[in-house]
Structure 1
Amino acid sequence: MPPISQSLHEEIAQRLQQSREATLATIRSRTGSDGDDPPQIAPGAHMVTGDDGAEAEMTAHDEQHFADHETALLHEIDAAIGRLESGGYGICMSCGCEIPEQRLLATPTAQTCIACQERIEQESGGGRGPTM
C-alpha cells in the first residue's frame, strides 16, 4: 500500500507539476535571450548608456545566483516527482517513517520528517535563529 492516499497523491502531483512549469519558465527567462538581447545573467544585459559597469556585473551575478537556486529547486521538484511515481513519496529518507500529510502539503519537495529535518539542521548549524 502506498504511504499516501490517492487524493493526496493527485494533489501533490498537480502541485509539483505546476511548480515545475513555473520554475522552468523562470529559469528560461533568466538564461534565454530574445533576439539580439543577451540573457539576464549576462553582464551586458544590464548595461545602458551611462551605467556603471561594476553595477551591471553585480546585477548579472545576482541573476546567475537566482538561476542556480531555481535550477536546484527544479532538481528537488523532479526528485519529488520521481519518488511520487515510484511509490517512495511520503517516506522519510533518513529514518524511513512516514512524513505527515501536513508537511507534504506545506512542502511538497520534503524528503524528511520534521524530527529528522530538525536534527539535520541542528547538526549542520543550518537552522533558523542564532548559531552562537
Structure 2
Amino acid sequence: MPPLSQSVHDEMTRRLRQARASTLRAVRARTDAAEGEAPAIGPLSHALQGDDQVAAEMISHDEEHFAGHEAALLHAIDVALGKLEAGGAGICESCGCEIPEARLLATPTVRMCIGCQEQTEKALRTGRGPSM
C-alpha cells in the first residue's frame, strides 16, 4: 500500500490545522465570558428577567448540543492529525484497505473506506457520514 503523496499529506495537514483552529475559536466563544457574565453554554445563561424561560432553556440546550458536536469534531481532527504524523493516514480502520486520496481530501477526518462506511451506517441505521 503506497503512502500518501506529499501534496495530499501537506494539504490534509493544512486543512486539519485550519479546521482545528476554527473549531477551537468556536469553543472558546461558547465557553469564555467577560468577568461577571455567564458563558454562553452555561445553564440558563440566556435568561434575563422577564424573558421567556422556555426559550432561554432551548437556547442553552442548543449551546450544549453545539459544544458536544465541536468536542467530537476536535477529537476527530486530532485523530486524523495523529495518523498523519504516524504515517497511518489513508488506511481504513475497519478493513485495512487504502482510502482513496480524493476521499481523504474531501473529508480529511474520514476513518473508513466507502464500503466500510456504508456498512457501518447501515448497521447503525444512520445516514450520516463523517463530519468536517
Contact preservation (8 Å) 1:92, 1:99: yes
**Root-mean-square deviation over aligned CA pairs:** 1.4
Question: Any idea what SS the aligned residue of 1:37 has?
Answer: coil
Runs of 4+ residues deviating >4 angstroms: none
Q: C-alpha offsets along residues 38-94 of structure 1, whole Å, 9 cap, x if unaligned?
A: 110123421233211222122111101100110010000000000000000010001
Structure 1 counterpart of 2:27: 27
Moved more, 18-27 or 30-39: 30-39
Structure 2 Cα separation of the partners of residues 101 and 80 of structure 1 = 14
TM-aligned CA deviation for residue 2 of structure 1: 5.7
Structure 2 counterpart of 1:39: 39
Unmatched tracts of structure 2, length 5 or more: none
Structure 1 counterpart of 2:71: 71
Contact preservation (8 Å) 1:91, 1:98: yes
Unmatched tracts of structure 1, length 5 or more: none
Query: Normalization by structure 2: what TM-score?
Result: 0.91
Structure 2 Cα separation of the partners of residues 44 and 94 of structure 1 = 42
Structure 2 Cα separation of the partners of residues 2 and 64 of structure 1 = 42
Structure 2 counterpart of 1:6: 6
Structure 2 counterpart of 1:113: 113
Q: Which amino acid aligns with 1:6?
A: Q
> How many residues align structurally?
128
Residue 16 to residue 2, structure 1, CA distance change in 2 (3 Å):
farther
Residue 40 to residue 2, structure 1, CA distance change in 2 (3 Å):
farther
Structure 1 Cα separation of the partners of residues 115 and 34 of structure 2 = 46
Contact preservation (8 Å) 1:3, 1:91: no
Question: Any idea what SS the aligned residue of 2:49 has?
Answer: coil
Q: Which amino acid aligns with 1:59?
A: I
Matches within 5 A, 1:53-64: 53-64=53-64
